[in-house]
Structure 1
Amino acid sequence: MNIKNFFEDKFVPVAAKIAKQRHLLALRDGLVLSLPLLIVGSMFIIIGELPIQAYQDFMASVLGEGWGDFVWNDIFPATTGIIALLATFGITKSLVDSYDIDGLPAGAIAVAAFFLLNTLDAENNMWNADLFGAVNMFTGIIVALVVGEVYRRIVQKNLVIHMPDSVPPSISRSFTALVPAAIIIVGGFIIKILFRLTPFGDFSGFVTGVLSAPLKAVGTSYPGMLIILFFEQLLWFFGIHGSTIAWSFVDPIIQTATVENLAAFHAGTAIPNVVAQPFIDNFLQIGGSGATLPLVIFLLLFAKSRTLKDIGRLSAAPSIFNVNEPVVFGLPIVMNPFLVVPFILGPLVIMTITYVTMYFNIFPRLIGVNIPWTTPYFISGFLATGGRIGGVILQAINFCVAFLIWAPFLKSWDKRLVLEEEGALSER
């Protein structure tokens, strides 16, 4: 059995099953729930912190000194600052919905369990707002998955209070959730008491110390990025949405690292993490997975075959906004063993360049704002690094390197298509 047949027969079916796995889908959909708020919050941070002195002076003259304080005092706590709460609710609801059960009450119960498993600030008798942010993301994920499974099992076993059909659905739904809520809250309280007897103090302390930190260290490391990126591109080659599968495992880790960078930027301290969300969306995926924008530029400028010229024109506009399905399936790159080499090699090389240069602070690290993945290249690099030209220069280097990797393969593919088109014309 050759390598291609092995992947088609053994690897691809497994990957397809993973792509449909309900818990991974719930994780993805639950995190997506917070994406609009993260992006809006990031846009306000860019507005308030853009490092252009003339701009800052102008805004201060119009709105007064400290004009940007609203970003951190008001916008940030209401958007990025509640990402763990949103994830807890969204993941639970999505998971329970996947069993054809109403997930809305389960999401509310999961949020209550999240609060229960955290500890009040005893001195002020209030919740510490830091608990709701990315530092508690893993706690929220675990609570969401456990509550979702417990809730749906109770409902499926019909251990619920049923109301007559004449009762309005909203009220009936509340009574349906009554027994699951009682069981989950009592169970959560018992877990809380048990963790008070440990050195961790509470469940969140255990998750952060034992699970979150090691996973983050692995998931945001250079070897971790290398492996994940390789499998993402390989899955795309077989026609499977590699980005959905590969990054769903590490999205919580990446989001945590992103918010840590944002906190450091706010505090004026050194940015701690090389890898954050824009590292993937805005530096590696040049025009989409596989760094295909340089490919499209090559087709527009240098292709001689009619086929490649047409694909280049059709793919140009979507590629500017990092949508590359037209070129991935139209060229095609999918199931094309010749073009898979630059499709995999290009992202691995530019990831290495980006990681190394940011690690040694040759180019600025990412300040932790979430830039929409559809933001055109070069603009995104400027914004993701807090308005620093170094981000644009690094993107330009990555673009040129990816172009040079694609070029020889595309020249050969173009020459082959020209011969095929000339042969077709001569037969007419």
Structure 2
Amino acid sequence: LYSLGNFLWLLGIHQSVIYSSILEPLLIVNMTQNMAAYAAGEAIPNIINVALVPGFGMMGGSGSTICLLIATFLVGRNKATRGVAKMAFVPGLFNINEPVIFGYPIVYNISLIIPFILTPALGIIIAYAATAMHFMNECVVYIPWTTPPLLSGYLATAGDWRAILVQALILILGVLLYIPFVKINDVVMAKTMGEE
């Protein structure tokens, strides 16, 4: 459902159509059960919840676009997209990525849709596996969606520093996944804008 929601961005449809109306209520129920179990000192019942999905799958907002911005700083050559990346970086730290969605853009941009869909799924899978293998604690704190990456994992797991490592790994892999597509996007942008 979450990947489908991200795909809808390609068509200009906000992913919250899928995420907020279908998925988030279920994730909130899971988090409520986790908080109650944590307060009672019982085993935490749910790995997937409303803190894990955005905290590990939406770093920088939908599509984990903080990874796109970092990849742009590393390998991007297009002046327009580098300019958007500079303006969007601070909001992106707080998971606000509309400047990237509409300015980079993601909407109607086939060049970036593959990493935009795959990076969040990769993050959620890694976080799930790390939790299932007891590498990090379950998410038991309902944190604001604007909490920056690295801090969000630490707070959501009630202070487990290993969650920072998991988020850092996801960020690195996300950047690596975005890099080839940033280069493809640069070529497309150059042809579209008549640059050499």
TM-score normalised to the size of structure 2? 0.92
Residue 237 of structure 1 is matched in structure 2 by 10
Partners of 2:28 and 2:189 in 1: CA distance: 43
CA contact (8 A) 2:64 2:174 kept: yes
Residue 286 of structure 1 is matched in structure 2 by 59
CA contact (8 A) 2:150 2:167 kept: yes
Partners of 1:263 and 1:247 in 2: CA distance: 23
Q: How does 1:97-176 map to 2 (within 5 A)?
A: none
Residue 20 of structure 2 is matched in structure 1 by 247
* 3-state SS in 1 of match to 2:189: helix
Q: How does 1:211-230 map to 2 (within 5 A)?
A: 228-230=1-3
TM-aligned CA deviation for residue 345 of structure 1: 1.4
TM-aligned CA deviation for residue 416 of structure 1: 4.1
Among 157, 164, 167, the residue aligned to 1:385 = 157
Distance 1:250 1:229, change over 3 A: closer
- Does the alignment pair 1:338 with 2:96? no
TM-aligned CA deviation for residue 269 of structure 1: 2.1
Distance 1:404 1:329, change over 3 A: same
TM-aligned CA deviation for residue 385 of structure 1: 0.5
Partners of 1:289 and 1:416 in 2: CA distance: 23
Residue 126 of structure 1 is matched in structure 2 by none
- Aligned-pair identity in percent equals 35
TM-aligned CA deviation for residue 418 of structure 1: 4.6
* Amino acid paired to 1:311: V
Q: C-alpha deviations, 1:333-389, integer Å up to 9, x for none?
A: 11112211111111122221111221222221112x211001111111110001110
* 3-state SS in 2 of match to 1:338: helix
1 or 2 for the larger relative contact order (CA 8 Å, sep ≥6)? 2
Q: How does 1:20-419 map to 2 (within 5 A)?
A: 228-367=1-140, 369-418=141-190
TM-score normalised to the size of structure 1? 0.44
* 3-state SS in 1 of match to 2:42: coil
Unaligned runs of 5+ in 1: 1-227
CA contact (8 A) 2:111 2:184 kept: no
Partners of 1:270 and 1:398 in 2: CA distance: 26
TM-aligned CA deviation for residue 396 of structure 1: 0.6
Partners of 1:314 and 1:374 in 2: CA distance: 17
Larger Rg: 1
CA contact (8 A) 2:57 2:122 kept: no
Partners of 1:404 and 1:298 in 2: CA distance: 7
Partners of 1:254 and 1:354 in 2: CA distance: 15
Partners of 2:134 and 2:21 in 1: CA distance: 28
TM-aligned CA deviation for residue 327 of structure 1: 0.8
TM-aligned CA deviation for residue 300 of structure 1: 2.6
Partners of 2:164 and 2:104 in 1: CA distance: 29
Partners of 2:174 and 2:100 in 1: CA distance: 16
TM-aligned CA deviation for residue 322 of structure 1: 0.4
Q: C-alpha deviations, 1:106-130, integer Å up to 9, x for none?
A: xxxxxxxxxxxxxxxxxxxxxxxxx
TM-aligned CA deviation for residue 252 of structure 1: 2.6
CA contact (8 A) 2:131 2:137 kept: yes
TM-aligned CA deviation for residue 415 of structure 1: 3.8
Partners of 2:187 and 2:82 in 1: CA distance: 13
Partners of 1:251 and 1:265 in 2: CA distance: 21
* Amino acid paired to 2:92: S
CA contact (8 A) 1:231 1:246 kept: no
CA contact (8 A) 1:294 1:403 kept: yes
CA contact (8 A) 2:5 2:18 kept: yes
Partners of 1:419 and 1:256 in 2: CA distance: 48
CA contact (8 A) 1:233 1:344 kept: yes
Cα root mean square deviation, aligned: 1.8
Distance 1:250 1:345, change over 3 A: closer
Q: C-alpha deviations, 1:256-300, integer Å up to 9, x for none?
A: 211111111112222110011111221110100101001111223
* Amino acid paired to 1:389: W
CA contact (8 A) 2:73 2:85 kept: yes
